A and B are shown apart, each in its own frame.
Chain A
Amino acid sequence: DARVTQTPRDKVTEMGQEVTMRCQPILGHNTVFWYRQTMMQGLELLAYFRNRAPLDDSGMPKDRFSAEMPDATLATLKIQPSEPRDSAVYFCASGLVPDGVALSDEQFFGPGTRLTVL
């Protein structure tokens, strides 16, 4: 049963601390997305990768957020320093873009990391 996994599932930290969230995309998927969900804003795209290369991170506050794909099986989202307004659920999603197709179709979401910054 292929699925996206995310760790940790829950994280409580204090303002100013570094937070790292990890995602393992579905094996064989070549596109990885990071989204953030809050009650006020709903689901917002932060960044995404194709074949491990960053394609768009315009939704991400670049002074404190960074996203990387060290290898095809791991994507990370780091916040340093964290702030209370970063409290949200962070979702990773993956998809497969076949050769010759410009855009991905279905995105498979992980269970999310619930981040609370005190």
Chain B
Amino acid sequence: EDQVTQSPEALRLQEGESSSLNCSYTVSGLRGLFWYRQDPGKGPEFLFTLYSAGEEKEKERLKATLTKKESFLHITAPKPEDSATYLCAVQAERGGADGLTFGKGTHLIIQP
């Protein structure tokens, strides 16, 4: 069974204070690891897909990295608008199995 564990559950930072969110996973054959952002009352919004260990992707103040066991979402000099819940999900290489297995998320608060 695929498992995704995110830590910490919640994180409060001051504006400009960089940090990292962790996503540990176990999956039988990783096809892709996804990061989503979710604002209160809204659906998840796609951020990144990583496919192989060593891969990195960046978008504004966010950078996602991937190893064989975990992924990190690095947030550099965050702003209050970066406050959200960040979700990690894995997709396994099983025939026709498109569905994502999600972690429970990290609730990030950036204080001005």
Contact = CB atoms under 8 A, between A and B. Distances in A.
A105 B91 CA distance: 9
B99 to A, nearest CB: 4
Contacts, number: 63
Interface in A18-65: 31, 33, 42-45, 48, 50, 55-56, 59
Contact of A103 (B87, B97, B101): B97
| Most chain B beta carbons < 10 A, residue from A43, A44, A59, A109 | A43
B15 to A, nearest CB: 28
Given A55-B96, A102-B96, A103-B97, A111 B43 contact: yes
Interface in A77-118: 91, 93, 95, 97, 102-112
A103 B44 contact: no
Contacts of B103: 42
Contact of A56 (B44, B89, B96): B96
| Most chain A beta carbons < 10 A, residue from B87, B89, B102 | B102
B22 interface: no
Contacts of A110: 43
22 contacts: A4-B43, A31-B98, A33-B98, A33-B99, A33-B100, A42-B102, A42-B104, A42-B105, A43-B87, A45-B99, A45-B100, A45-B101, A48-B99, A91-B44, A102-B96, A103-B97, A107-B46, A108-B46, A109-B44, A109-B45, A112-B42, A112-B43
Closest 7 CB pairs of A and B: A109-B43, A45-B99, A43-B102, A42-B104, A104-B98, A106-B46, A109-B44
Interface of B: 31-32, 34, 36, 41-46, 49, 87, 89, 91, 93, 95-105
